[in-house]
Amino acid sequence: MDIPNIELDRIVDNALAEDLGWGDITTDAFVPPQIKGKGSFLIKAKGVLAGIEVSQRVFHRVDRSLVLKILIPDGNHIDKGMVVGTIDGPLNSILKAERTALNFLQRMSGIATATSQLVEAVSGLPVKIMDTRKTVPGLRMLDKYAVHLGGGKNHRFHLGDGILVKDNHWEALKVSGETLAQAIQRVKARASIFLRVEVEVKNMAEALEAVAAGAEILLLDNMTPEQMRQVVQKVKGKVLTEASGNVNLQNVRVVAESGVDFISSGALTHSVKSLDISLEVGMG
């Protein structure tokens, strides 16, 4: 898994602190520590699996003695009835970690599944589905990892690893009396050598001005597919283009056919439908 230990540990601890807190009063009274249990992650809906590694970590944080197995790794297409991982050990510990583990797994798989549906909807076209920064506060890394597992591409992780000139940035130049070209020049000088400049535009005029000013990617904001097609024709080969604004399963192919290189969707992470996965628990 690509996410570093220190980050995963922090996220898992944070989650357990809020759900397990000072202990599980019911389980401690009902399940003596010597009773062995067995848990199986059972898939109950078609989709893409994401979060099985994080979920297993939750169990280990609660009890090091639990034996964890991943039968199907993150990123695979899954379907109803499949068992993707198992846990063996004290039943007590399995029950304490269950909800937190599922909360990660169901959300991440929900994101990966929605991403893969958009990806499939544009299959055959040379376009990439992308996420945004509209993630749940505190879980950006996992939200974006789930998009990646679903076949999507990640946009900026935070405000420092990409240069994106939005309408408000552009308008602020009127006050400072600077041209877009001058401002882009300055941000390029200031930023690391790795970072490209993307500029948000709302129409052809802005698109052409942005390209002339040094933009390397255009963010086509809330344009019609036809408007996008016209901009793409003009700028193809010079800059990359990203379509943005209320994309969904119904309209994504039409948007893609405009020829844009990327289509980004905030809904992938801000309006997640969690995937139905359960932990089937039995006596070990």
* Catalytic annotation, residues: 99, 134, 166, 200, 221
Phi, psi of 252 (to 5 degrees): -65, -35
Report how many residues bind a second copy under the rule CB under 8 A. 102
Nearer to a second copy, 203 or 248 (CB): 248
Phi, psi of 96 (to 5 degrees): -70, -30
Q: Restricting to residues 69-88, which ones interact with a second copy according to CB under 8 A?
A: none
Q: Restricting to residues 14-53, which ones interact with a second copy according to CB under 8 A?
A: 14-32, 35, 37
124 is a contact residue toward a second copy (CB under 8 A):
no
- Residue 254, Cβ density class (10 Å: 0-12 exposed, 13-18 middle, ≥19 buried): middle
177 is a contact residue toward a second copy (CB under 8 A):
no
Distance CA 213, CA 170 (A): 12
Contact 237, 218 (CB under 8 A): no
Q: Restricting to residues 244-283, which ones interact with a second copy according to CB under 8 A?
A: 262, 270-274, 281-283
183 is a contact residue toward a second copy (CB under 8 A):
yes
Nearer to a second copy, 77 or 270 (CB): 270
Scan for tokens 């996965």, then name that residue.
Answer: 277
Nearer to a second copy, 128 or 226 (CB): 128
179 is a contact residue toward a second copy (CB under 8 A):
no
Nearer to a second copy, 107 or 210 (CB): 107
90 is a contact residue toward a second copy (CB under 8 A):
no
Distance CA 101, CA 51 (A): 9
Burial 201-238 (b: 16+ CB within 10 A, else e): beeeebbebbbebbbbbbbbbebebebbbbbbeebeee
Please pick, from the candidates 43, 87, 130, 247, the single residue that binds a second copy as defined by CB under 8 A.
Answer: 130
- Least distance in Å: CB of 123 to a second copy? 16
Contact 218, 235 (CB under 8 A): yes
- Least distance in Å: CB of 230 to a second copy? 22
Q: Restricting to residues 189-248, which ones interact with a second copy according to CB under 8 A?
A: 189-196, 198, 217, 240, 242
Distance CA 169, CA 199 (A): 10
Q: Restricting to residues 53-72, which ones interact with a second copy according to CB under 8 A?
A: 61-63
Contact 260, 240 (CB under 8 A): no
Binding mask 150-169 for a second copy (x = CB under 8 A): ---xxxxxxxxxxxxxx-xx
Is residue 163 within a helix (H) or strand (E), and if so which, with residue range? strand 163-165
Please pick, from the candidates 42, 68, 72, 99, the single residue that binds a second copy as defined by CB under 8 A.
Answer: 99
